[in-house]
Chain A
């Protein structure tokens, strides 16, 4: 369903800060895939997501979704295909707007914005039910400003917003990295639930190797702008953290195995 072909991206080309972020990426996702992506800092994981969603243009290569070439579409026009949750809990929601207003904005992703009221009455009940499922007590706070909520609450709402329209592809960019361990695991549980329920094709970047192994049916490892390892099915199930560590060591001569990975 997603087809990334020969994508290259270099930042600050021709300057002293030149950085090759993506160095010939080829990636095909099948319907219903739940892919976890791991790799060191600067491996190009986030850049890959930003290329798919159109935050920056690609240098060359093509990106197709369900056969539609979206390589040249501006970010807001391809947003209808994607649900996104970002690493920074502040990025996914509008802080000065109410919870229900944020959700109504997401419910209209890919639709024209008219002069009809921004939220219909029937929607409110729907949102209340969705929020109740999070078990965070947010269902009674529909009109609270999102800026008053904690990072975990905001990530949970962003997840709801990203999945409520059943996107073709859900993109999670280390969405639990900024949360404390307890909150992170709660948000991860919500993620699993929403993804399996909607059978949403998902691409999840994570720094936590255990999560990368435990979740999903396929695992991708990136290094220096390339996919260096792609494993799925039974083979992935047998994978251990130590196997990944060995692979990292081989790929980058040990540079990659920092404390954060080991502790994660």
Chain B
């Protein structure tokens, strides 16, 4: 059990970094009401771009920006598949994800993985210094949340939220719902790639498979955050913070079950079942518990 507690800071650091990705997932899954599977590829794109740019001698901060933009491009591709080609969103994401496997291999110079040593390069986060990684991760999360909070309060942000909430209403009010979906997908995947860029520094390498199952982890963080903090976190910024906490809790649970003897090979099976369970909770709640009848009488 002691082992579990000593492993907790590492789980927190990982949870925070994956939490940033989950915030990206929140934009598509909750704000736009699209299930975007692009993230399995775009998180790897972010990692690969950062590693190759850094190895190539680029300043790490600029490399982060380039990684963000690469993720934006991935989101743009999905957005075009969805709105211009008329492909359902979930399939558009799968297509981009598949395409990104090849793209990520090319970025990584044809290799399945590339290492990025913290000894050789001046990295922002690394698992060699977990407390620092937690602090930096929290600062990044706070910045991402602050920017999103501002953005979704602007006229443009309002129009994106309206698109996700009620597309017919949005169009009736002169909003181009296709362009809003694209903007949302671009922004979401940019943030996901940023998370991938942090992750590759943290683990010290980028791998072509690093994003496999990322969407499941993202959804897990979103849903755990909502189930646990949904009642108290109503404000948009707090809800995004709840998503990050969801990521931390997810990694704490994973660490725990590994310590309890779960075979690491079974981890993805376990993750899938956990997410399925959490997704089922709101549905079962609605079915089993009789709907509370509102006694308050409403006028017009």
A interface residues (Cβ-Cβ under 8 A, vs B): 53, 74-77, 79-80, 82, 84, 86, 90-97, 101, 104-106, 108-111, 113-118, 136-137, 150, 152-153, 156, 161, 182-183, 186-187
Contact = CB atoms under 8 A, between A and B. Distances in A.
Contacts of B169: 91-94
B158 A104 contact: yes
A16 B170 CA distance: 33
A74 B299 CA distance: 38
Contacts of A96: 161, 165
Contact of B165 (A97, A104, A111, A187): A97
Contacts of B156: 113-115
A105 B154 CA distance: 11
B300 A91 contact: no
Contact of A137 (B161, B170, B299): B299
B158 A93 contact: no
26 contacts: A76-B171, A76-B174, A79-B171, A86-B168, A93-B169, A94-B166, A94-B170, A97-B161, A104-B158, A105-B159, A105-B173, A108-B174, A109-B174, A113-B156, A115-B154, A115-B156, A116-B154, A117-B154, A118-B153, A118-B155, A118-B158, A137-B299, A150-B300, A153-B298, A156-B300, A183-B300
Contacts of A77: 174, 176
Given A91-B169, A105-B162, A109-B174, A117 B300 contact: no
Interface string B139-154: 0000000000001011
Interface of B: 151, 153-159, 161-162, 165-166, 168-177, 298-300
A95 B165 contact: yes
A114 B165 contact: no
Question: Of A118, A152, A153, which is in contact with the most chain B CB atoms at under 10 Å from its CB?
Answer: A118
Nearest to B164: A96
Contacts, number: 101
A94 B162 contact: yes
A253 to B, nearest CB: 36
- 3 A-B pairs with least C-beta separation: A79-B174, A152-B300, A118-B158
Contact of A105 (B153, B158, B176, B177): B158
**From DSSP, what is the main secondary structure of chain B's interface residues?**
helix
B174 A91 contact: no
B158 A91 contact: no
B300 A153 contact: yes
Contacts of A183: 300
Given A80-B174, A136-B300, A108 B155 contact: yes
B157 to A, nearest CB: 7
A113 B173 contact: no
Nearest to B172: A84
Contacts of B165: 94-97
A117 to B, nearest CB: 6
B168 A91 contact: yes
